[in-house]
């Protein structure tokens, strides 16, 4: 499980670093998409081993699943409502909140590899 955590951290760093360097924001968007795909696939794999984890990790995985489904639904609804793309609310729901959820998943993989 340590390898999965280190791969997750690597994907996370590859998504965060372009955002820090302001000139490479577009690469950060691409990396964030890849990070999201990787984390959702990894979460599905972890849900198959759900019974092996303790109650704390199960609670975190459930919260992650609910947050991910909720935010994906909100992103879909907001993107249909705001078509211009320059709206600050769209930026918050498409870039900032998903990165916060990705940070939460890095924490979950840290807890899993620590146990």
The pLDDT of residue 64 is: 93
Residue 108 has pLDDT above 90, yes or no: yes
Please report the pLDDT score of residue 85 as a whole number. 57
pTM of the model: 0.85
Q: Compute CA 60 distance to the chain's CA centroid, rounded to the nearest angstrom.
A: 13
75 in Cβ contact with 94 (< 8 Å): yes
Provide the 3-class DSSP secondary structure of residue 115: coil
Tens digits of per-residue pLDDT, 74-94? 878 877 776 665 667 777 777
99-112 mean pLDDT:
93
Query: Cα dist. 48→7, 51, 64, 96, 104 in Å?
Result: 19, 8, 15, 29, 19
Please, which pLDDT band fits residue 104 given cuts at 50, 70 and 90? very high
CA atoms of 56 and 62, how far apart (whole Å): 10
Are residues 114 and 2 in contact, defined by beta-carbon separation less than 8 angstroms? no
* Structure confidence by residue, pLDDT tens digits, 17-64: 988 887 788 888 899 999 999 999 999 888 887 778 889 989 999 999
């Amino acid at each position: 499980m340590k390898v999965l955590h280190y791969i997750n951290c690597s994907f996370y760093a590859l998504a965060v670093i372009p955002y820090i360097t302001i000139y490479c924001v577009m690469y950060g968007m691409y990396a964030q998409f890849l990070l999201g795909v990787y984390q959702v696939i990894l979460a599905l794999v972890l849900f198959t081993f759900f019974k092996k984890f303790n109650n704390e990790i199960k609670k975190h995985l459930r919260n992650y699943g609910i947050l991910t489904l909720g935010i994906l639904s909100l992103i879909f609804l907001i993107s249909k409502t705001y078509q211009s793309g320059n709206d600050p609310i769209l930026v918050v729901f498409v870039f900032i909140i998903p990165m916060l959820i990705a940070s939460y998943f890095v924490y979950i993989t840290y807890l899993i590899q620590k146990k």
